[in-house]
Structure 1
């Protein structure tokens, strides 16, 4: 009996030690700091709840302990230098390396032991997300407010309409009464005079035919001007913003996430055309971003909408997010073009983005002090980083381009212009004395027909 009690007490002590040891594994780190470190170092390849480039890391400490009998020391070695661990002959390290297509994980010697403990604490006990503004609720609130405002406006409109109809009815009644009074008081002399007056439009036109012809001539001139003006604006689509097969919010990408325009539109700097980026450019980021976690929501859209659009990217590229590999089954995306120069117009993006970048920015900011730009693209395409759906921000007519060439000052002191236009400086100063030494694009051939037409 005594022996049994001794074993029982020893068992309790062992269980207590085991529990305290297990608890200490999870109590060594700060989950909130671990979350920051995880997002800064690990999210490119890992998530807590799903496999990405690497395995899901939620509960990884307990999983390794249960399945492989490995403790946190092994994880420390793996995180700091997994290559050295593999080269030491560690069996499980080499199994993991082979399982995930021999994609080598970056070493993190910069992480201290406490940093790693914080990360492991986060993977074991992730802190509850801080209460954030519910975008959907905000949209609903805005919708209700908008609906109430619309009802109020509708009621006001009805009141105004009824009031106008009432006033119109009263005026009509007064006119009829006045007509009756005039007839009652009309004398024979007035009746004879009325007999000589024009009583129809034909009589009136016959009596004042020269006035009628003048009015018809004026109407003809106005009609010709209207037709000419209409024809001049054919092909001008300022404000055109078609819906695309895959929704892409520039406000989220270029605005909130500060992605540089030329990261996606790379040929704008090196070629004539700023091409639509290929889908593999999207996959550079969205291979590891399979759902939308931003706080900003467009009116009428929710997280499910954005997640569905990301799935369209995967369908187009043939990407299987579960297996983290391409299937080879792709679907072409038929983008709707917004900006398209006519065939007889030559426009080179590189010439403006590289050679004219600072001059264009300076000119735009001088003319628009309340709407300054920091990227040359915005001078033509508008504040793209605020657009949910990209639209044509300017007219892009010949007159619009000429006006820009007439007002944009050329930096004559930069290395290229200073050398290339060395012999023209004096001539330009004499030819444009009013410029006070400031030369605009038109002075160096910016209005020559052959520059843009061929």
Structure 2
């Protein structure tokens, strides 16, 4: 009896192991939809389903390993969780893969559970079909988008032609009246009273003439002055760049932090144009555009072509996954450019003045609030397909900001350093509660920006 129970228990254990092993081998327990999410979160930096990136393509990897190497998903579990330990154990195939891909060590994922790995493998075996995009959200392009504009243009042309026709009829009527007047006796009397020269007109109306000349001189002086004052002000300027870069896709749709690319804005005076190596941090593995957002008039082929320009500039061969050494400089067109006689420090505004600037802007613009300090000067950059100058960037514009931006007196440095000034302003401006703005601590001094 004891022997039968012992064999019975061993049989159940063996059947359980067999079932779990077979399910694991064929990936029947995995959830492809959850596996897709896990794949995108953990694997897309180095792998794609249908092509080699840094690592090999993973579509059908379970069946491929089984047929070519005789390995099951248990090996894949070990490889994914800790490939370094698997290689150290002397596993032949693990070391072959390591050598084949230039000894590029794969990341370790001890945080993934067995269920997570099964879901990922199920996704690589049977990837779910992509969901069709909603037609209601599709942006009309081509003839559909141009139809309203064409209709409006036609209406404008028709109205203009009618106005011209009316004007011609009116001129003909007046000419007819003049002809009749020339044929009447009244014309002789008018000829006797008319002024025969410009000098006679001037003598008769010289006060009026001098007044008009004075007004014209004032208007001309104002026009010249106004033209001079707006030299170098290019609000709305948005030039085309040699490589198309949509901030709406990168900063808006994908929520990429501004300082990931413009890192020196936080630590230096100038916010530099990112090098192409910064682009390659992502686009080394992103060789095509698969986003849902498409700018009107542009399609996936257009975006893919712009990515290829990045590869040409950096000398990257996506097929071999290596640099060729043949690079091409990119001649970007600068948009924001302060004059040489102006000192402006980005880090001072991005770090020290960050919260104060955001609070001041949101207080003045309750219906157009910002969450990033960069937007106070550069506008809502995450909505721009083509970057443009969103503000005047004039001296008056900067001074107005310094006069209205209140300093945060709650941080330890300001509270201690400006203690006496704070007490003085409380007495000087009791109605405002002694609020300290940037101009009160030297924000309007000439040497602050010009030295």
TM-score (norm 2): 0.89
State how far apart, in whole Å, the 1-side matches of 2:393 and 2:126 are. 56
- Tell me which of 406, 417, 422 is aligned to 1:420: 417
Listed as ranges, the matches of 1:6-155 within 5 Å are 25-133=26-134, 138=138, 141-155=140-154
Cα deviation, residue 198, structure 1: 2.6
Does residue 289 in structure 1 map to residue 286 in structure 2? yes
Distance 1:444 1:301, change over 3 A: same
Contact 2:233 2:392 in 1 (8 A): yes
Deviation at 1:413, TM superposition (A): 2.6
Q: Which moved more, 1:420-429 or 1:304-313?
A: 420-429
Counterparts of residues 92-241 of structure 1 (less than 5 Å)? 92-133=93-134, 138=138, 141-180=140-179, 182=181, 186-187=185-186, 191-192=188-189, 194-198=191-195, 203-241=200-238
Give distance in 2, aligned partners of 1:386 and 1:452.
31
Say which SS state the counterpart of residue 141 (structure 2) adopts.
Answer: helix
Which deviates more from structure 2 when the two are superposed, residues 374-383 or residues 420-429? 420-429
Q: Which residue of 1 aligns with 2:312?
A: 315
Give the paired residue count.
Answer: 430
Distance, in Å, in 2 between the alignment partners of 1:429 and 1:272 is 33
The answer to whether the Cα contact below 8 Å between 2:24 and 2:118 also exists between their aligned partners in 1 is no
Deviations 1:86-134 (A, max 9, x none): 2221100111112222222223333333332222222122222111247
Contact 2:141/2:297, CA 8 A, preserved across alignment: no
For 1:438 and 1:176, how far apart are their aligned partners in 2? 71
Q: Per-residue CA shift, 1:218-254, capped at 9, x if unaligned?
A: 2122112111111111111111111112111111111
- The equivalent residue for 1:13 is none
The CA distance in 1 between the partners of 2:198 and 2:138, in whole Å, is 62
Deviation of the 1:66 alpha carbon: 2.3
Counterparts in 2 of 1:196 and 1:389: CA distance versus 1, 3 Å: same
Note closer, same or farther for the CA distance 1:78–1:380 as it changes in structure 2 (3 Å cut): same
**Which moved further from structure 2: 227-236 or 116-125?**
116-125
* Unaligned residue ranges in structure 1 (runs of 5+): 1-20
Secondary structure at the aligned position of 1:439 is classed as coil
State the partner residue of 1:441.
Answer: 438
Of residues 70-79 and 41-50 in structure 1, the stretch that sits farther from structure 2 once superposed is 70-79
1:165 and 1:85 map into 2 onto residues whose CA distance is: 86
Give the Cα–Cα distance (whole angstroms) in 1 for the partners of residues 354 and 252 of structure 2: 20
Deviations 1:372-396 (CA, angstroms, capped at 9, x unpaired) = 1111111111111111111111111
- Stretches of structure 2 lacking an aligned partner (at least 5 in a row): 1-21
Deviation at 1:33, TM superposition (A): 2.4
Q: Does 1:272 align with 2:269?
A: yes
The corresponding residue for 1:263 is: 260
Farther off after superposition, 303-312 or 207-216: 207-216
User: Which has the higher mean CA deviation after the structures are superposed, 373-382 or 411-420?
Assistant: 411-420
The TM-score, its normalising length taken from structure 1, stands at: 0.88
Equivalent residue number for residue 335 of structure 2: 338
> How far has the Cα of 1:274 moved from its partner?
1.0
Which range moved further: 327-336 or 111-120?
Answer: 111-120
DSSP 3-state at the match of 2:107? coil
Distance 1:444 1:432, change over 3 A: farther
Q: Distance in 2 between matches of 1:278 and 1:443?
A: 39
Helix, strand or coil at the partner of 1:38:
helix
Going from structure 1 to structure 2, the CA distance change for 1:23 and 1:201 (only over 3 Å counts) comes to farther
Q: Name the SS for the 1:435 alignment partner.
A: coil
RMSD after superposition: 2.4
